[in-house]
A and B are shown apart, each in its own frame.
Chain A
Amino acid sequence: MIVMAKNKSDQKRRIENVLSALKHDKLAIASLVFLVIIIALALLAPILPLDPNTTDVRNMFQPPSPEHWFGTDDIGRDYLSRVIYGGRVSLLVGFLAMITCVCVGVLVGTVSGYCGGWIDSILMRIVDIMSSIPWMVLVTVISLFLKRGLKSIIIVIGFFTWMEIARLVRAETLSLKEREYVMYAKFVGIPGYVIILKHIIPSVLPTIIIAASTGIANAIMTESSLSFLGLGIQQPMSSWGSLLQNAQSYMQNAIYMAILPGLLIVLTIFAFNKLGNLLRIFVEPRVMSGEKD
């Protein structure tokens, strides 16, 4: 009980540390605000007065004006609406791919670390092999086997980028396994999966959260790169990456089409990375902001 109480107060102190670091870091506050706005826009897009689909051929390539804040695209659609709807797709891919990738990574990492022995050897060899294929090659090759579109891009990113998380989680599980409370739980005969769920996963949670926040950033980056190459999101759906791919053809007379989606990608990735770094203070209380990356 005493240990638990101590852990509780420790947790509380750590959360306070993060909050105070957040207060002193204006860039982190800005990142948080930016993400809240962008996520809110993405969620609320259907009830906002936005229309990403009506074409208007008389108003093609309109530069930004009071009527169309960010101009119109090659077939006269309102570009701001297109970008906000594109953000829905980009963020959705980011979140779902991250969740898949974290789940697989945590599952492999905890099982591998907790069970040890031949299970560990096999799982880690799989991780070694999968991480020896350059990610760009791996992800594009897998996308070859699936019908292009939203679902397959989530699967591709989610199931083929979890190796780093698995390694991190495994390393932590290995040290947790030697802790007294885990040894005790094992001794009194609690089954392995319960120990993993009840004792190991809660302890690696902070690591998982950090990995998740950089994971979203990476997933958004991967999705936009793939879509830019024409291997990701397909028409009529669009994401920031595929909007940029489209903008590439009209760059000479409509550069504003390339600016907005690109800027949003940069800011979103920056913000997720920034918050991920801030959360590190929670896990490594002595490491104050930006000491390790």
Chain B
Amino acid sequence: MAKYIIKRILAAIPMVLIITVICFALMNLAPYDAIDAMTTPNMSPETVALIKAKYGYDQPVYIQYIRWLDGLINGNFGYSIVTHQSISADLAIRIPNTIKLILPAYLLAYALAIVLGLIAGSHKNKWADKLIDGICAIGIALPTFWVSMLLIYFLGYKLNVLPIVGMHTIGQENSMIDYLRHFLMPFIALFLSFLPDATRYVRSSTITQYSEDYVMVQQAFGASKAEIMFKHVCKNVLLPIITKLGMALPMLVTGAIITETIFGWPGVGPYFVKAIQGMDYPIVMVILVLSSTLVILGNLLSDILYCLTDPRIKDLG
């Protein structure tokens, strides 16, 4: 098993490296670069050359790449070409904000999805299943941004019960109630966007488990429905879900780009969208590398968890 895990880790490293190369290449191919942002057309060629030398842009491309990669590894992500602020410092503020929003929404959505999915899956083609599955089908078709707009209209404007933008009211940064009032709407929007997919996943794996032979054996031995459900099916359904949580890792950074942008939540979303609109390549590339690395790490984590929890995989070696 250790061999399998090491093999998976070794396979992940070149993937991350290739992604950094792609990113760097994109940054170099971009029609407008950091030098254009720092210089103005009426600067003398000497000044431009000086600025180039200062930031290392006079070096050959592969040296620039190695320096950039070295920076990434040491946590120095470079500087925004629009605001000239350190990207790592910005992200250090924004990522925790995003996590504060996504983690509760994701966990609650999964908790409810497990309940609904188990109910639907164990009552296949009965009314409860049809109802839950039907709601999921509609839920999947709902664009998050539209749900957010409707929430803003009804809760924000019509009923005027919740603030529509930001994370705190100015002057009330330490008030928990104020924070929760700001938190509620983006939380609901995200929760609703996670729920249908998760429910369908739990439902289909429940259905698969119910068609396994062990269920029939239990039925033949006269086990009650509750016994089959909680002693056997539940275990087999929940295990892959716990391991699947590893795949949620990248969501913690880029899982709420749209929702955060609409509600002006000061997380990674608006930062990223603003960088895209302002052609702020360094930020865009850092987020690209960061989120893809997290995807690869997340998949790795869930493979390892799976391998640790499911004894059948042990002899894959």
Contacts and interface: CB of A to CB of B under 8 A. Distances in A.
B295 A144 contact: no
A291 B26 contact: no
A132 to B, nearest CB: 4
A258 B148 CA distance: 11
Given A132-B292, A141-B288, A262 B146 contact: yes
B119 interface: no
A269 B292 CA distance: 28
A138 B138 CA distance: 26
B105 interface: no
A243 to B, nearest CB: 11
A265 B147 CA distance: 12
Given A141-B284, A266-B141, A258 B276 contact: no
Given A145-B26, A291-B124, A128 B137 contact: no
Contact of A266 (B19, B138, B204, B299): B138
Given A144-B30, A270-B141, A137 B272 contact: yes
A224 interface: yes
Given A133-B292, A144-B284, A266-B138, 5 more contacts: A137-B291, A141-B284, A225-B144, A265-B143, A269-B140
A30 interface: no
- Interface band, chain B: 35 or more
Contacts of B144: 225
A252 interface: yes
Given A221-B143, A244-B145, A292-B204, A134 B152 contact: no
Interface string A24-52: 00010000000000000000000000000
Interface in A262-293: 262, 265-267, 269-270, 273-274, 290-293
A63 B98 CA distance: 38
Contacts of B140: 269-270, 273
A251 interface: yes
Interface stretch (A165-173, A188-196, A227-235): A227-235
Contacts of A141: 26, 276, 284, 288
Interface in B117-145: 124-125, 133-134, 137-138, 140-145
A85 B89 CA distance: 45
A143 to B, nearest CB: 8
A270 B138 contact: yes
A217 B142 CA distance: 11
B141 A217 contact: yes
Interface residues of A, number: 42
Interface string A234-272: 000000000010011001100100100010011101100
Contacts of A231: 273, 276-277
A147 to B, nearest CB: 10
Contacts of A228: 143, 145, 258
Interface in B242-286: 250, 254, 257-258, 261-262, 272-273, 276-277, 279, 281, 284
B73 interface: no
A43 to B, nearest CB: 23
Contacts of B125: 290
A1 interface: no
A132 B309 CA distance: 24
6 nearest A-B pairs in the assembled complex, by CB-CB distance: A269-B141, A270-B141, A262-B146, A132-B295, A133-B292, A266-B141
B18 A129 contact: yes
A136 interface: yes
Interface in B283-317: 284, 287-288, 291-292, 295-296, 299
B204 A229 contact: no
A79 B85 CA distance: 43
B276 A140 contact: yes
Interface in A120-143: 125, 128-129, 132-134, 136-138, 140-141, 143
B258 A244 contact: no
B292 A293 contact: no
Most buried by A among B142, B146, B153, B261: B146
Contacts of B258: 136, 225, 228-229
A192 to B, nearest CB: 28
B295 A133 contact: yes
Contact of B145 (A145, A225, A293): A225
A137 B287 contact: yes
Contact of A134 (B207, B261, B292): B292
17 contacts: A27-B134, A125-B15, A132-B15, A133-B291, A136-B257, A138-B288, A143-B276, A144-B276, A144-B279, A231-B273, A231-B276, A247-B149, A248-B149, A248-B262, A258-B149, A258-B150, A292-B207
B157 interface: yes
Nearest to B32: A144
B141 A251 contact: no
A265 B143 CA distance: 8
